Amino acid sequence: MPTPFTHLALAEEILRDGDLIPAARRLLTAQRGPFLLGNTAPDVQTVSGQPRHTTHFYRIPPTGERPAYETLFATHPALARAADLPPAQAAFVAGYIAHLLLDEMWLFAIFRRYFLGDWAPRPERHFVHNVLRTWLDRQDQAQLDGDIGGTLRRVEPHAWLPFVGDEYLRAWRDWLAEQLEPGHESQTAAVFARRMGRSPEEMEAVLRSPALMDEQVFGRVPSATLDAFRREGRERSVRLINRYLANWEAEEAL
């Protein structure tokens, strides 16, 4: 699914989106750090060691039709009403559900459509999928402004998730922030290579070759499809966040 830096880049686009309701814009702008962390937080299982479905609220392949964010709220109803949460936690959860939505969109629109066929053995298809995600990761990291690492480091979770300890959210926060500091690089390629039992150099050979990227990646997944995914992902995320924070707007009016 999209990498943390892609989620962060889209979170920044959401903050600039003119279709956010006023209350959502005020809250998320004031609580930018928690919102940004929330947009990456379902991937905390990387440091917590939890099974992926316990932080993403869906399995691969999916076993039902209910969206992951609805499963999250059904499982942990205290998170479902933003107006009952402290501002930082409400912004964090708004980011969290945007991540879940985007991941499921990627699963259906990109992964299942382009990487579940029989055009190559499964390990090779997963390799190409991870090369694509790493390429997008680098494009998005380059677009992030220089203060995001510091913004993330200043976020202090306080029992924001009943299923993840604060110590793991802090460890995840710091791991991301370190990669965003000057002189540091994304570790995405190394992480994916290790998971696949491949070398980072194999991934770099494709990533650094426009000809190989066109042949192996964009020959499979058209750039127009990726652009459409991003556009729809941003639009649907904004609509979801507006629904989630609508009660927050009502509380402000009281």
pLDDT at 254 (0 to 100): 40
pLDDT at 32 (0 to 100): 96
Decide if 31 contacts 87 (C-beta within 8 A). yes
pLDDT tens track for 172-187 = 999 999 999 877 778 8
pLDDT of 54 strictly over 60: yes
pLDDT band per the 50, 70, 90 thresholds, residue 61: confident
pLDDT at 142 (0 to 100): 86
Tokens of 206: 């494709």
What's the angle, vertex CA 55, arms to CA 11 and CA 41, rounded to 5?
30
pLDDT of 250 strictly over 60: no
Alpha helices by DSSP H, 41-158: 45-48, 53-56, 68-75, 87-106, 112-115, 122-143, 148-153
Q: What's the chain's length in residues?
A: 254
pLDDT tens track for 6-22 = 999 999 999 998 899 99
pLDDT tens track for 218-240 = 999 999 999 999 999 999 999 99
pLDDT of 253 strictly over 50: no
pLDDT band per the 50, 70, 90 thresholds, residue 39: very high
